[in-house]
Amino acid sequence: MKDIERLTNGVRVAAVVCNQWGDSGKGKLVDWLASEWADVVVRGTGGGNAGHTIKVGDLVHIAHTVPCGILNPAVMNIIGNGVAFDPRGVCEELEELRAKGIKYSGNLLISHNAKLILPQHLVMDRIREAAASGGEKIGTTGRGIGPAYTDHYARVGLTVNDMQNKDVFARKLRRNLKDKLVLLEKFDRGVVEKVMQHPHLEGGMFFSREGIFDVDAIVERYMEYGRMLGGTITDTDKEVRDRIDNGENVLLEGAQGHMLSIDYGSYPYVTSSDCSIQGLAKGAGLEDIDVQLILGVVKAPYMTRVGEGPFPTEMGGEASAKWCSTHTRKEEEEDYPNALIDDSNEFVQGVAVRRAGGEYGATTGRPRRTGWLDLPLLRYAMRTNGSELALTKLQVFDDVPEVKICTSYVYQGPEYLCGGRTLHCGDILDTATPDIDVMKHCKPNYVTMPGWKGPTADIKDYRDLPENLQKYVHAIRSATNASIRVLSMGPERNQTIVV
């Protein structure tokens, strides 16, 4: 039996989610499963904030809202009802696909019920972040995600369907703008105008000196998008169910990571959708019990975080967090041309890991904060996303003398009541709690293991991996009771081992 057949034996619906803070390599795994198994790939959460890198031979593609099955001509790609949909961003993505010679016509469907991102969402996102001070800043991607989902729950949101009905769109748009205008009137008009000059806001096309937003310009532009995308807009919930009933293999593509989930993550330093299997299934038009295989993706031996918020195993701690929010990749390359992963200075170690793993935001280009694999956090994510894991990026640590794993935390904060338990300084936590007032006081307990000799990227069979790497994988398995199903040893489809 082929490797992938062993993995998907008896599976009709599978899902790929991240058990960390995102950027763990979901895109590669989705593309791999799409090339060998899936008939349909469905995105259910997030939007243009995601950046999923796919590499097939010489072709490198970064998908943002369009599902990662798009490089496979035989696969239907569906943007589900739970997605925050920015038509400008999606049209740009489609244009990029066209320019690369990738055919998508007939391979893409968009839910009529996906939540529409409007210019005011991008403005609110950017202005709020710019005005935030100290701990109020989230470090968002500036793609309007939070404000769009907020409007949905505040019952003033618009959907993709509205782009096809001009009068309804205009009425809902005016209603939606009311509360935004009250807030934006308080800001310096010059600042608002500057924000609205951004290319993501069509270079000022929607700005009006009198009313801040030129309603007619927004209506016209969104009607144009409605016409451009019209043939792809449909009831995708029904489509997904019908395809399952017809015996097709359906793959759900997660975005971001469990610790960024609005419901399970390190709130408020999260995104605004539920990145867990539950949110993903719902946003794809299904229930989590419909999914027979959930691959929880775990980057190891290191992990990353982008944006603000606690990160207990961060290499270089606060200095790293600050550096990443204030420096660019270019500056880092100039300042640390020869950083080594086994440097005795943890901050430099973090820089070296970032450089070795290419850990710079696929959407924003920001340096990603780097830290050691955190098992308390993984145990917490596995409660919701289940025990089947895919480990990724292991090859980045080839030839590093030692690797560390965080096996538990020591709580080092003041007495604090959390979830019915009073925490005291010195308490040991095996499983993370996403409460940031706990997490920011958690110091990791590490075990150190010997590293392994590379190169490992092109090894195809688990038994051929260096013994120390197998021991490392086994250590994760036995410390979490996980079932490790897949190891991704590089960005290419064929750099994948089914365990």
The CB density around residue 164, as the number of other CB atoms within 10 Å, is: 18
Hey, is 53 helix, strand or coil?
A: strand
Report in angstroms how near the CB of residue 31 gets to ligand IMP at its nearest: 16
Q: Token pair of 107, please? A: 């391979």
Report in angstroms how near the CB of residue 66 gets to ligand IMP at its nearest: 14
Report in angstroms how near the CB of residue 49 gets to ligand IMP at its nearest: 4
Report in angstroms how near the CB of residue 133 gets to ligand IMP at its nearest: 17
Report in angstroms how near the CB of residue 44 gets to ligand IMP at its nearest: 14
Question: How far apart, in whole angstroms, are the C-alpha atoms of residue 481 and residue 442?
Answer: 23
CB-nearer residue toward ligand IMP: 39 or 253: 253
Known catalytic residue at 200: no
Question: How far apart, in whole angstroms, are the C-alpha atoms of residue 24 and residue 257?
Answer: 8
Known catalytic residue at 23: yes
Helices (H), 66-144: 87-99, 119-131
Three-state secondary structure along 69-89?
CCCCCCCEEEECCCCEECHHH
Q: Contact residues for ligand IMP (CB under 6 A)?
A: 22-23, 49-51, 138-141, 143, 145-146, 256, 260, 269, 271-272, 306-307
- Per-position b or e across 299-324, b if 16+ CB within 10 A of its CB: bbbbbbbbbbbbbbbbbbbeebbebb
User: In whole angstroms, how far apart are CA 42 and each of 80, 258, 287, 387, 427?
Assistant: 6, 18, 13, 22, 42
Cis before 491? omega within 30: no
**Catalytic, out of 23, 31, 86, 151:** 23
Question: How far apart, in whole angstroms, are the C-alpha atoms of residue 311 and residue 98?
Answer: 39
Report in angstroms how near the CB of residue 259 gets to ligand IMP at its nearest: 10
CB-nearer residue toward ligand IMP: 4 or 62: 62
Q: In degrees rounded to 5, what are phi and psi of residue 249?
A: -90, 125
Report in angstroms how near the CB of residue 51 gets to ligand IMP at its nearest: 6
Q: Are 342 and 402 in contact (CB under 8 A)?
A: yes
Which residue's beta carbon is nearest to the bound ligand IMP? Answer: 307
CB-nearer residue toward ligand IMP: 226 or 257: 257
CB-nearer residue toward ligand IMP: 256 or 408: 256
Three-state secondary structure along 175-189?
HHHHHHHHHHCCCCH
The CB density around residue 463, as the number of other CB atoms within 10 Å, is: 8
The CB density around residue 246, as the number of other CB atoms within 10 Å, is: 8
Nearest to 26 by CA among 15, 35, 10: 15
Q: How far apart are the first and last CA of the chain?
A: 13
Question: How far apart, in whole angstroms, are the C-alpha atoms of residue 356 and residue 359?
Answer: 8
Q: Token pair of 57, please? A: 């031979």
Question: How far apart, in whole angstroms, are the C-alpha atoms of residue 160 and residue 168?
Answer: 12
Question: How far apart, in whole angstroms, are the C-alpha atoms of residue 53 and residue 297?
Answer: 15
Question: How far apart, in whole angstroms, are the C-alpha atoms of residue 62 and residue 68?
Answer: 9
Report in angstroms how near the CB of residue 52 gets to ligand IMP at its nearest: 8
Q: Are 78 and 122 in contact (CB under 8 A)?
A: no
**Catalytic, out of 3, 31, 39, 52:** 52
Question: How far apart, in whole angstroms, are the C-alpha atoms of residue 289 and residue 254?
Answer: 16
Report in angstroms how near the CB of residue 260 gets to ligand IMP at its nearest: 5
CB-nearer residue toward ligand IMP: 23 or 31: 23
Report in angstroms how near the CB of residue 132 gets to ligand IMP at its nearest: 12
Question: How far apart, in whole angstroms, are the C-alpha atoms of residue 302 and residue 314?
Answer: 9
Q: Are 262 and 272 in contact (CB under 8 A)?
A: yes
Q: Which residues are catalytic?
A: 23, 52
